[in-house]
Chain A
Amino acid sequence: MFKLSHGRKLTQGAFLLLFLFLLFQTESKGGDELGYPVRLFLDSDPFIFISALISARGWEWTFLKGFLPALPVIAITLLMGRVFCGWACPLGTVNDLAGIGAKTKRAAVPKSLRKLKYLLLIFLLTLSLASVQLAGVFDPLSFLIRSLSLWLLPGIDNGTRALFNALPDSGSASESGLAETVFAFLKAHVLSFHPPSFGQGLLFGSLFLIVIGLNRVEKRFWCRYLCPLGALLGVFSVLSPLRKTAGEDCSSCGGCVRFCRAGASGGRHETWFGTECVRCMECRDNCPKKTVRFGFKAGWLPSYSSLPSGPDLGRRHIAASFLAALAGAPLIRLARPSRSEAAAVIRPPGSGDENRFLSRCIRCGECMKVCITNGLQPMLLEGGLEGIWTPKLVPRLGFCEYGCNLCGQVCPTYAIPRLEAGVKKRTRIGCAEIDQGRCLPYAESIPCIVCEEVCPTPRKSIRLDAVRVRDRLGRDTAIKRPRIDPERCIGCGACEKHCPVEGAAAITVKPLTVRRKA
């Protein structure tokens, strides 16, 4: 009998490679576009789609159009169950890899924990109803992209550079040296253009390692008990006609249970939870009697409650998670700081109103990965719980590159809209302010025009005034002083980034919400 699980492994490998390839392509090469559909996996994610559709009330065609790739995933799930989880999901594949050789302890985890993911799904979708968008915090694709982009890949990148830079004579050694040749190849094809650097590495790393490590407790722990996308696909699969059956010669040997990576098989051949099964085909391929089959049959899948060992999702639990979300939404909202200095952040261009942005952002980290200057950084709790891992611009680290609109191109939910290049260049995200106590021409009569020079608006938003002043020693001296035109300034932060004053810049971008007003 041909082993379908071999085909599955190949498919998983192909999807994981595609996923990684697209992730590596999520970086500028200097052109206006990336050239690859780097959002493909997120666009295909029905959980992100439905949750964002609800939270953003995204009934416009541009929004719906972006998620067309999710339709085949839904269709396949309706027909064949959770094959996405078993055959395509890159986090599922990473979990499989991490679970290789893990000894499954019988009953390490109470089976009833499976309902947790359904309750989480209900909780998150109910929050979406209240426009609190936290789906991406738990979505597996968002989780994986975020973990790799903001922690693992930057770590590998910086580690590789440190290694090569530690070699004797690095950079001055002959270009033909082997190490330099390898390094040049890595820089051209593997490493980021600039060594990436993001805050919260410890947190992202810990969460990722916990999820990976849980595979040693039970294989695919995440998929079995926590994954809200898996839960959603489980719901879609209740009518799936692709069912597991066992013939009359089944001896109830328990192999199905041993080989199942999803906890979908019970002890006896008739015990099979279709909503849990990821169609990995291991039970079929490993059945000693070759009697396990998958075939198409109509009818409702056996529900949990109808099965002796099935966990009961329970009306009470469903109601509890629904109510918890209803009560939680305003509590999460209340945790948002008011319009104080601390709450005010510079969002990516075009994000618009903070409520609109928060109702759409799924915190996948794509915008931060693609940001050409590394200026987009993940927030933690400074914008309230609701703002966790959303992007903010930190101009001193990296400004909003004038000609770049890549963050809008990679955002799957239009939290950052896809601004046409000309529009992006006119889109205000803040306004610069000069600190005259630190600015060299003002404070010490030292000539400096860097902010004016780097200001990218065609009609400079920073002008130079030639004035006569008294210098440090009281001598009459001529100097040029920068002056900001708030009507022209778009708040890109090029001035703040390049201000040569050590430490805090003498010119800083303030978000429009807390701009100095007369």
Chain B
Amino acid sequence: MNRRNFIKSSIAAGLMLSVPGPLRGILEAADPKPPDLAVVRGTSPERITRAAIDALGGISRFVSRGDVVVIKPNIGWDRRPEFAATTNPEIVAALVRASLEAGAKKVKVFDNPVFDARRCYKQSGIADAASRAGAEVSFMDTRRFKDVKLGGRALKSWPLYRDVLEADKVINAPVAKHHGLAGLTMALKNWMGIMGGRRGSIHHSLDNSLVDVAAAIKPALTVLDAVRILTANGPQGGDLQDVRKVDMVVAGIDQVAVDSFGATLFGMKGGDLGYIRAAHQAGLGRMDISRLRIKRIRLG
């Protein structure tokens, strides 16, 4: 997308907002349906994130004026961005700025890292980038987990983070990487970061547990960071030889579809991964990407 298109769609979005509610619905219905997935490649993480959002219909489709928005990146490890163990900070910042431009009242960014949160927040570059973009970056507070009835196949209930449950809109911003047990970790597995309690024990039945937790969250948007992907020794990495530069983001509303597309970057299919199959079967989303409408964009 070039600048002119961007301006056009911005103006269109602005006009949309100025139209009274009932009329807007009619106008939107008249619009050509946005694609299921936007796959954008380019060298600037910020610009490809913007382009992906715009291809899906613009940020105002996902964030409304006055919303409290939670953006959940992967800040799980004490690694610098180039190791692809954590979400690219520029993508997180782009999502923060877009949400604020859409009129969000507040944008919160947090994660529950496995290693020391101070180091993970700092070394990943996410805390600095997100707060500069205007987000409220906080460390997760152990008192703010709330037992949620999941009634799932593996988990009956689990403490989840209140701020995510109470947010008006949630944006999932995972990074695509290798994982020893799950195979890959992307959007669905990113929700482990809002789990309290002894979350390590869900590995005993990981696939179903991930689906049970993901079913409790309805993200408005999922943006998968594939600017750099970690192809081995994940999810923590630490060796640049295991990192591949793909310069891509994959965005969509359906996080099963996003993960399924993400798997192809590693030479796999969504169906190769147990938790994607389970999520598909549970009706959380669609893994058969051949039947999805995918908009591919290539920026310079």
- Residues of A whose CB lies within 8 Å of any CB of B are 28-31, 165, 170-172, 193, 372-373, 401-404, 440, 446-450, 452-460, 464, 480, 494, 498-500
Contacts and interface: CB of A to CB of B under 8 A. Distances in A.
B198 interface: yes
A401 B180 contact: no
Interface stretch (B41-49, B110-118, B280-288): B110-118
B122 A29 contact: yes
B31 interface: no
B195 to A, nearest CB: 13
A455 B116 contact: no
B203 A401 contact: no
Contact of A447 (B146, B179, B206): B206
Contacts of B174: none
A401 B144 contact: no
A112 B133 CA distance: 68
A14 to B, nearest CB: 30
Contact of B200 (A28, A30, A165, A500): A500
A438 to B, nearest CB: 14
A372 B179 contact: no
A466 to B, nearest CB: 11
Contact of A30 (B118, B181, B239): B118
B143 interface: yes
Given A401-B116, A447-B181, A30 B203 contact: no
B118 A458 contact: no
A403 B114 contact: no
Contacts of B235: 453
A193 B121 CA distance: 13
Contacts, number: 94
A500 B199 CA distance: 9
B127 interface: yes
B204 interface: yes
A30 B233 contact: no
A480 B119 contact: no
B181 A453 contact: yes
B269 interface: no
Interface in B111-144: 114-123, 127, 139, 141, 143-144
Interface residues of B, number: 35
A464 B232 CA distance: 13
B198 A500 contact: yes
B270 interface: no
A498 B181 contact: no
B18 interface: no
Contacts of A498: 114, 200
Contacts of A170: 143
Contact of A165 (B121, B143, B236): B143
Contacts of A459: 233, 239
Nearest to A398: B116
Interface string B196-220: 0010110111100000000000000
Given A446-B204, A453-B236, A193 B118 contact: yes
A443 to B, nearest CB: 13
A17 to B, nearest CB: 25
A216 B180 CA distance: 63
B236 A172 contact: no
B92 to A, nearest CB: 16
Given A449-B203, A450-B200, A458-B239, A28 B180 contact: no
22 contacts: A30-B118, A30-B122, A31-B122, A171-B143, A193-B139, A372-B118, A401-B115, A404-B116, A446-B204, A447-B205, A448-B203, A450-B200, A453-B179, A453-B181, A453-B235, A456-B115, A458-B233, A458-B239, A460-B180, A480-B181, A500-B198, A500-B203
B244 interface: no
A372 B238 contact: no
Contacts of A499: 200
Nearest to B124: A30
B206 A404 contact: no
A447 B203 contact: yes
Contacts of A372: 116, 118-119
A27 B177 CA distance: 32
Contacts of B206: 447
B180 to A, nearest CB: 5
Nearest to B206: A447
B118 A29 contact: yes
Contacts of B114: 453-454, 498
9 nearest A-B pairs in the assembled complex, by CB-CB distance = A171-B143, A30-B122, A458-B238, A30-B118, A458-B239, A500-B200, A449-B181, A450-B200, A500-B201
Interface in B233-274: 233, 235-239, 242
A440 B120 CA distance: 29
A372 B239 CA distance: 24
Contacts of B127: 30
Contacts of A460: 180, 233
Given A165-B143, A449-B181, A404 B119 contact: yes
Nearest to B118: A30
Q: Which of B139, B203, B205: most chain A Cβ within 10 A?
A: B203
Contacts of A171: 141, 143-144
Contacts of A450: 200, 203
A450 B180 CA distance: 9
A459 B240 CA distance: 11
Contacts of A30: 116, 118-123, 127
B115 A448 contact: no
Q: Which of B114, B116, B235: most chain A Cβ within 10 A?
A: B116
A449 B180 contact: yes
B181 A402 contact: no
Given A171-B143, A448-B204, A454 B123 contact: no
B181 A28 contact: no
A373 B118 CA distance: 11
Contact of B119 (A401, A446, A458, A464): A401
